[in-house]
C-alpha cells in the first residue's frame, strides 16, 4: 500500500507528509494533556511543529474505509483554500503491524493510522463563545463570525473542482483564530466517513437539532442540509439554544403566526440593543439594528421545514453584500466613535467585558490564582500577594509583561521570560494607604500579557513598542479585591 503514501507525498507543495512518530512526539503520544477537542471523526491534539502551533486530528478507525476512498477525499481537502475554511498543512498515513491476541494466540495485525494536521485556531470553537442567551462577544464580532461562516459555506457549495456538502455543520466545527475570523472545519470528512456514521455520532452527542428533518427521517442530502444547520448556528448566536428551542416549539403550535414571529424578532433586537448599550464606549444605532434584524430573519428562513423555502448560499451572500452596502452608507454619514483596544485600557471595568479564560493564556500559561487577586488590607502598611505563572509549552519560551496602576502597585518582576515547563513567581505589592476604600470597594485591575518568543529573546527586548506591534499576543485581566482581616 506504499503507492498511496508516495502519490500523496508528490502531489502537493502545501500539505506535507508527517511521520507518525513525529506527531506522537509533539502531542506527547496523543496524551490527554494535549487534547483540545473531540469530534465525530477523531480526537484533536495540539502540537508545535517547526515553531508553529498545529492541530492534529487523529482519525478514528473506520471499517470498510479503503485506501482509494481516503486518497480521493484527501485530495479534495487539500484543494480547498479559502480564508474562512480551515487550512490543512499536513497528513499522516502509516501502516503498523501490532501483535494482538486472537483465539488464544498472539497474531500480527495490520493497523492503519490516519491523521490530518491543520492550522491551530487560538480562539477555539464557536461553541465556546455561545451562552444560553447568545454569542458572548459584542455585536460587530458576532456579525463578523456570521458573515465569515456564510462565506466559507458558500465557497464549499459552489466548489472549485467539485461541490462539497459539509453535512455536520455545528458550532463545534466553526473555529476562530485570535482575531475571531471564523474557519469551517471537518468539511468533507462526513463524505469520507459516511453520512449515516455522522448522524449516529451527532445523535450520541445530542446535536441532531442541527440536522433537518428530511435528513433525520429519510436521509435526503442536498445543499439545503447545510443551510438548515447554518440557520441553527445563527439562531444560537443571536438568541442562544433556549431562544432557538422556544422558536422551534412556537413553530409547531397551531396558533403560530407572523405576529408571533415578529414578536420574536423584536425580542432579539431588544436583547442586543440592551447588551451593547451596556458596553462602555459603544454606540448602538440604526446600522446595528439593521444587521440584527437581517441576521435573525435569515436564520428563520434557513430553518424552514420545507427545504424548498430555504435560501441557497448564493442568495444569502447576495443579501449580506446588500446589507454591508447599506450599513456602509449609514456609517459614512454618521461614523461610530473609535473604541480603544484592550491593551490601552488598563483601568476601568469595561475591560472585564473581554471573554477570555482568566486562568489560561492561550493554553501555554496557567496562572494561579485564577479568578482574582485579594489583598488583606491594613492601613499604613505595604500588603503583598503572589502571582504564579506556569509555562506548559513543551518547546516554547514565553515572554510576559505585567500592567497595573504603578502609583498604587509594584510588580516584581514586571516582565520576563519563562522557559518551557518552568514557573515564575511575581510579587504584587499594594503600597501603604492610610484608609481603606468605603466598604472595601476596589475597581483596580492587573493585566498579564504573554507571547511566544525564541529562546534567545531577552527581557530587555520587552518594550512598549514591541508589545504594541505584536498581533498574536494573549492578554487577560484580573480584578483586584481588598478584604478586611476579619473576613
Nearest to 304 by CA among 238, 223, 242, 248: 248
Helices (H) and strands (E) in the chain, counts: 12, 19
Residue 293, all three cell numbers: 434584524
In 3-state terms, what secondary structure has residue 171? helix
CA 38 – CA 182 distance, rounded (Å): 19
Could you please report the per-residue DSSP string of 113-143?
EEEEEEE--TTEEGGGGB-SSSBSS-HHHHH
- Please report the sign of the dihedral spanned by the C-alpha atoms of residue 327, residue 332, residue 334, residue 340: positive
Place of cell 495485525: 109
Cβ–Cβ < 8 Å for 119, 54: yes
Give catalytic status of residue 474 as yes or no: no
Q: Which of 14, 67, 168, 364 is catalytic?
A: 168
Residue 60, judged by CB atoms within 10 A of its CB (0-12, 13-18, 19+), counts as middle
Residue 42, all three cell numbers: 477523531
- Please report the sign of the dihedral spanned by the C-alpha atoms of residue 351, residue 354, residue 360, residue 364: negative
Q: List CB contacts of 30: < 8 A, sequence separation 6 or more.
A: 23, 24, 43, 45, 56, 58
At residue 414, φ and ψ (nearest 5 deg) are -95, -5
CA 177 – CA 89 distance, rounded (Å): 16
* R_g (Cα) of the chain, nearest Å: 26
CA 239 – CA 300 distance, rounded (Å): 12
152: enclosing H helix or E strand: helix 139-158
Instruction: Show the CA angle centred on residue 73, arms to residues 232 and 92, nearest 5°.
Output: 105
58 among annotated binding-site residues: yes
- Please report the sign of the dihedral spanned by the C-alpha atoms of residue 207, residue 357, residue 482, residue 444: negative
Catalytic amino acids?
168
Binding site members: 58
Binding site members for ATP: 58
Amino acid at each position: 500500500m506504499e503507492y498511496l503514501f508516495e502519490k500523496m507525498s508528490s502531489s502537493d507543495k502545501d500539505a506535507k507528509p508527517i511521520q507518525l512518530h513525529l506527531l506522537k512526539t509533539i502531542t506527547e503520544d496523543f496524551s490527554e494533556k494535549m487534547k483540545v477537542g473531540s469530534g465525530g471523526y477523531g480526537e484533536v491534539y495540539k502540537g508545535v511543529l517547526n515553531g508553529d502551533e498545529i492541530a492534529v486530528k487523529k482519525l478514528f478507525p473506520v471499517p470498510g474505509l479503503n485506501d482509494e476512498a481516503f486518497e480521493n477525499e484527501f485530495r479534495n481537502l487539500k484543494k480547498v483554500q479559502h480564508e474562512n475554511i480551515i487550512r490543512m498543512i499536513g497528513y499522516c498515513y502509516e501502516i503498523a503491524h501490532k501483535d494482538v491476541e486472537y483465539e488464544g494466540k498472539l497474531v500480527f495485525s495490520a493497523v492503519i493510522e490516519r491523521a490530518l494536521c491543520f492550522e491551530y485556531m487560538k480562539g477555539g470553537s464557536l461553541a465556546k463563545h455561545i451562552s444560553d442567551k447568545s454569542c458572548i462577544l459584542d455585536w460587530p464580532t458576532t456579525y463578523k463570525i456570521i458573515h465569515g461562516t456564510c462565506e466559507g459555506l458558500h465557497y464549499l457549495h459552489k466548489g472549485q473542482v467539485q461541490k462539497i456538502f459539509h453535512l455536520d455543520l455545528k458550532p463545534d466545527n466553526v473555529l476562530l483564530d485570535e482575531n475571531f475570523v471564523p474557519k469551517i472545519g471537518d468539511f468533507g470528512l462526513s463524505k469520507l466517513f459516511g453520512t449515516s456514521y455522522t448522524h449516529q455520532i451527532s445523535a450520541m452527542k445530542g446535536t441532531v437539532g442541527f440536522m433537518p428533518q428530511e435528513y433525520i427521517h429519510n436521509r435526503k442530502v442536498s445543499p439545503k442540509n447545510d443551510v438548515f444547520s447554518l440557520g441553527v448556528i445563527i439562531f444560537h448566536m443571536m438568541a442562544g439554544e433556549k431562544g432557538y428551542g422556544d422558536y422551534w416549539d412556537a413553530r409547531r403550535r397551531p396558533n403560530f403566526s407572523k405576529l408571533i414571529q415578529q414578536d420574536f424578532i423584536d425580542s432579539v433586537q431588544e436583547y442586543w440593543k440592551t447588551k451593547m448599550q451596556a458596553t462602555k464606549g459603544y454606540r448602538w444605532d440604526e446600522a446595528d439594528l439593521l444587521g440584527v434584524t437581517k441576521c435573525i430573519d435569515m436564520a428563520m428562513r434557513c430553518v424552514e421545514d420545507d427545504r424548498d423555502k430555504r435560501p441557497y448560499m448564493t442568495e444569502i451572500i447576495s443579501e449580506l453584500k446588500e446589507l454591508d452596502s447599506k450599513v456602509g452608507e449609514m456609517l459614512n454619514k454618521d461614523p461610530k466613535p473609535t473604541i480603544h483596544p484592550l491593551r490601552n485600557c488598563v483601568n476601568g471595568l469595561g475591560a472585564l467585558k473581554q471573554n477570555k479564560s482568566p486562568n489560561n493564556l492561550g493554553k501555554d500559561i496557567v496562572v494561579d490564582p485564577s479568578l482574582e487577586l485579594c489583598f488583606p488590607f491594613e492601613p499604613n502598611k505595604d500588603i503583598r500577594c503572589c502571582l504564579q505563572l506556569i509555562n506548559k509549552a513543551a518547546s516554547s519560551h514565553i515572554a510576559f509583561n505585567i500592567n497595573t496602576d504603578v502609583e498604587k502597585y509594584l510588580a516584581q518582576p514586571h516582565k520576563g521570560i519563562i522557559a518551557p515547563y518552568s514557573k515564575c513567581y511575581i510579587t504584587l505589592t499594594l503600597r501603604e494607604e492610610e484608609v481603606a476604600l468605603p466598604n472595601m470597594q476596589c475597581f483596580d485591575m492587573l493585566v498579564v500579557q504573554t507571547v511566544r518568543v525564541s529562546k534567545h529573546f531577552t527581557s530587555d527586548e520587552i518594550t512598549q513598542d514591541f508589545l504594541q506591534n505584536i498581533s498574536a499576543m494573549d492578554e487577560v485581566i484580573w480584578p483586584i479585591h481588598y478584604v478586611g482581616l476579619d473576613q
